[in-house]
């Protein structure tokens, strides 16, 4: 493992590096992924580099590479946006860029690592996310990690000629079940 930050059973999360940029750019510009993230325009390499640099300047955001322990393969990214210390909440985000790795349970595993970090290290009270209603795979993955459906912003996302709903999902610290190893004293 190279520079691990959070370690799970099959995956680990580490800081993103310059060498990851081209991979990230390929994923973010994949039309199928673009749709799920609500982006309409492709990302340039220059902008992607600026994005990466900005993510590590602020303690209000956390971006990590999701890496398979087996073969040390970087297959996606995940993290927190908008870490709000006053209200003790953050917004969770994830993308697995290599589509042949979808459906293997890696996103729920990464989400559990970040929920644990958020609740036990950042002292968050609430972690939430937004997902488009048609993204059944993401909805299911988030449910498996413990997020519950809290509400729906009806017809809030226009794509492919029609409106889609946006679901708000969230988890409170009081609802979170820690299934990780005992924390050190
Ligand atoms: C969405 C994403 C994060 C899910 O991660 P993942 O690691 O593939 O998730 P999982 O392996 O847990 O698989 C998803 C679950 O959805 C289920 N599923 C897949 N397609 C489904 C569908 N059309 N309807 C219902 N359930 C579906 C799978 O069966 C699996 O559930 P199970 O384990 O109970 O059988 C990942 O596929 C991804 O990054 N996709 C592209 C980008 C994206 O959508 N990001 C999220 C933006 S909100």
The answer to whether residue 143 is domain-embedded is yes
148 Cβ neighbours under 8 A, 6+ residues apart: 169, 170, 171, 175
In CATH, what number is assigned to the domain containing residue 109?
3.40.630.30
The answer to whether residue 108 is domain-embedded is yes
Identify which of 103, 134, 145 to mutate to test ligand 1's pocket (most ligand atoms within 8 A of the CB): 103
Q: What is the pLDDT of residues 146-175, one digit of tens each?
A: 999 999 999 999 998 999 999 999 999 999
Length of the chain: 185
The answer to whether residue 123 is domain-embedded is yes
Contact assessment for residue 4 and residue 14, using Cβ atoms and an 8 Å cutoff: yes
Q: What is the pLDDT of residues 91-141, one digit of tens each?
A: 999 999 999 999 999 999 999 999 999 999 999 999 999 999 999 999 999
The number of distinct structural domains making up the chain is 1
For residue 108, the enclosing domain spans 6-175
Q: What is the pTM of this model?
A: 0.96
The answer to whether residue 45 is domain-embedded is yes
The answer to whether residue 183 is domain-embedded is no
The SS3 of residue 108 is helix
The answer to whether residue 85 is domain-embedded is yes
Q: Exposed, middle or buried, 65 (CB in 10 Å: 0-12/13-18/19+)?
A: buried
Query: For residue 79, what pLDDT band results from cuts at 50, 70 and 90?
Result: very high
Identify which of 130, 141, 165 to mutate to test ligand 1's pocket (most ligand atoms within 8 A of the CB): 141
What is the CA(86)–ligand 1 centre distance, in A? 32
The answer to whether residue 15 is domain-embedded is yes
């Amino acid at each position: 493992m190279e520079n691990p930050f959070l370690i799970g059973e099959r995956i680990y999360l580490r800081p993103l590096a310059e060498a990851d940029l081209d991979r990230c750019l390929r994923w973010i510009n994949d039309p199928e992924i673009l749709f799920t993230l609500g982006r309409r325009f492709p990302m340039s390499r220059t902008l992607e580099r600026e994005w990466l640099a900005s993510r590590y300047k602020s303690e209000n955001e956390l971006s990590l590479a999701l890496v398979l322990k087996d073969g040390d393969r970087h297959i996606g990214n995940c993290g927190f946006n908008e870490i709000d210390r006053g209200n003790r909440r953050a917004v969770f985000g994830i993308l697995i860029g290599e589509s042949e790795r979808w459906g293997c349970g890696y996103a729920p595993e990464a989400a559990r690592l970040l929920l644990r970090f958020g609740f036990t290290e950042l002292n968050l009270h609430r972690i939430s996310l937004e997902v488009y209603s048609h993204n059944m795979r993401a909805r299911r993955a988030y449910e498996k990690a413990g997020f519950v459906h809290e509400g729906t912003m009806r017809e809030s996302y226009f794509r492919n000629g029609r409106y889609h709903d946006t679901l708000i999902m969230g988890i409170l610290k009081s609802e979170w079940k820690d299934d990780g190893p005992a924390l050190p004293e």
